[in-house]
Structure 1
Amino acid sequence: MTANRNSAPEKKLVPSPGGLPPRAFILNCFGRGGSNIVWNMIASSPDVLISSKEWHQGVFGSHARLRKTMRAAARHMDMSRLPGFASFVARRTAETIAPEAWAEKPEATAVALKVMDYHIVFAPAIEAGFSECRHAVLTRHPLPMCESLIRSGESETRVTKIYNDIAAHMAVMAKREGTAMMRFEDLIADPAAFYRQLAMALGLTPPPDGRIRFMQKKFGAARTTLDHGGREVVRIGPDELRERIDANVNRDAAARLTPQQRDFIWRATRESALSLGYDETDF
């Protein structure tokens, strides 16, 4: 896990009272790449609230066409400069923080946001709502990542394009000041050590009781396209994570690929994987 520190961050506008907390921890991630685990780890800090929805769901809701249109525009311009857009984003983001979250942590100074896949391009508009932002990027090797997307119903050609596009955004984010780079592979290898390194990298205040948030849900081969329920949040000790996270999930996913699929995916995503520090068997 590494953090880039190239230059001093530019201060953003201070949010209005009663809206957003002044700081944000923004988790940039793949869907189906361990993001819920890390998102809840960050929100285990007594200083950090958690949004009730993934960022794009909270801001755009069911307006998929609007989201795609704005996302396309964000590739070519700083969306924080689009009149009214940054304030719209801040208002909708504030609405994703449930009253019970504020009631549990009335002195919280930050919120943890999960920004998935292509929505990383909205970083400037998100940042405009906060005085301070810290970004974390959670990567995953292309073979198990693409296998997960294939199991969701995507074609092999489509999943490699998705991986390459998102990896390109991640590589750009990795160059920004203060970005903490994390690997899913380190999470499943030693979850407790991963959590300690994450907390240190982001400067998170530890929970008073030492227990962290963990969302119980189907993971790996047990998860299907229709699996949206059963997401109870429990609080457990970091050492208990090992009992709940399958260390073999990546190897099992890669093993479900045929030799032809594996060869095609690696050839199509090799450059992207290398840009994120992966070789062919580094999973």
Structure 2
Amino acid sequence: MINRAPIFVNGFQRGGTNILVNFITSHPHVCAVGETQKIFYGRHKEALYKQYIQRVSYLPIFLAARQHIFWPERFYERNKLPTLIKHYTDWVFYRNKLASPHNTYEDPHMVITKEELAQTRFLCKNVNGVVFASHVFADMYPDATFIGLIRNGFALCESFIRRGWTAERFGRMYETVCQRIIKDAAQLDNYHLVRFEDIITNPVASAQTIYSYLHLDITKVSKFRLQAKKSMTTNGKRKYAFGGNVDREVHWFPIDQLEQYIQKDVNKNQIARLRDTDKKVFLQYAHASMEKLGYLS
């Protein structure tokens, strides 16, 4: 493979993966390439012709796998890829790494050459059903590291209900994805579980632990990047913890100041807005994972 020691972050949409990805990509030797499904299916905000180009480039993978292997709404076992298609998929990741729009640096005047960028480890985010592709990536990259981000399902349930889901639909999805993450963490080498709650309550210790999982030297990071995103406050309104009114605007903070810019009560605020009836329905489908992950104790 062209790429070496890639990093895959597995979790839920709107589940806190953004802060984890920013922690990791603060390191100069890591390059974010975005979400897997957007790499292969295109981004909704892109011009249509770009989306079509990406979907055409995905066609060989679809035909070889005989399934939508990187689609987040498909919750089934993924087929392994033939050797030739593995190398093709690796090349697509490599191409996206060299052209990634996600990378900014603490020094805005910093210039990184294509040769230097080529040597970085790419980080890709797998959300919802794409977590089922971990075995495919482990087969492609024996040196890959996987980080499974888990989070209290009640908080996530509020977020999804606010966006039109039912408690039953999200409960089924939460249980399916969590069980897969738990199973893969037990079966795959270099697969580590990280709690969202640990990141927001103790970001410094969490960053140190995550970097140790990834064999990254944290001393090479003088500042950590965060992106401005709205989160739930105690009065039910959503606002930015830092920055102005530009969503996903990148800011850099010294590691000892991270706690000042991360909202610690976001879970509590979201759970407070979840109706008891929705909690009960959610638990009818997600009780096993919530109990296994310690969110019911």
> TM-score with structure 2 length normalisation?
0.76
Q: 1:68 to 1:162 in 2, by over 3 A?
A: farther
Letter in 2 for 1:75: Y
Shift of 1:76: 4.0
Cα distance in 2 for partners of 1:74, 1:257 equals 26
Counterparts of 2:91 and 2:138 in 1: how far apart (Å)? Answer: 13
1:98, 1:234 → 2: CA distance?
A: 23
Deviation track 1:17-53 (CA, whole Å, cap 9, x = no partner) reads: xxxx3120111111111101111111122221111x2
- Match for residue 93 of structure 1? 93
> Residue in 1 aligned with 2:211?
199
Kindly indicate whether residue 185 of structure 2 is the aligned counterpart of residue 170 of structure 1. Answer: no
Q: Sort the Cα spacing of 1:181 and 1:76 in 2 relative to 1 into closer, same or farther, 3 A.
A: closer
Distance verdict in 2 for CA 1:197–1:68, change over 3 Å: farther
Moved more, 205-214 or 254-263: 205-214
Q: Unaligned regions of 5+ residues in structure 2, if any?
A: 43-50, 104-111, 240-245
Partner Cα separation in structure 2 for residue 77 and residue 27 of structure 1:
17
1:32 matched residue in structure 2: 14
1:228-247 equivalent positions in 2, closer than 5 A: 230-247=247-264
Letter paired with 2:154 = L
Deviation track 1:179-232 (CA, whole Å, cap 9, x = no partner) reads: 111001111111222111211222212253521121122233527xxxxx6212
Once the two structures are superposed, what CA deviation does each residue of 1:222-266 show, in whole Å capped at 9, x if it has no partner? 27xxxxx62122221122222222111111111001121122223
| 1:78 aligns to 2:95 (yes or no) | no
Q: Does 1:144 align with 2:152?
A: no
- In the alignment, the residues of structure 2 paired with residue 31 and residue 239 of structure 1 have an alpha-carbon distance, to the nearest angstrom, of 28
Identity %: 20
Q: Indicate the SS of the match to 1:23.
A: coil
- Do the aligned partners of residues 77 and 99 (structure 1) sit closer, same or farther apart at CA in structure 2, a change above 3 Å counting? closer
Indicate yes or no: 2:277 matched with 1:266.
no
The corresponding residue for 2:40 is: 59
**Residue 77 of structure 1: CA displacement?**
4.8
Runs of 5+ in structure 1 lacking a partner? Answer: 1-13, 16-20, 224-228
Q: Could you say which residue in structure 1 is the equivalent of 2:47?
A: none
Tell me which stretches of 4 or more aligned residues in structure 1 moved more than 6 Å.
64-68
Matched, 1:46 2:20: no
Task: Tell which has more relative contact order, 1 or 2 (C-alpha 8 A, sep 6+).
Answer: 1
Q: 1:218 aligns with which of 230, 235, 238?
A: 230
Q: By how many angstroms is 1:172 displaced?
A: 1.5
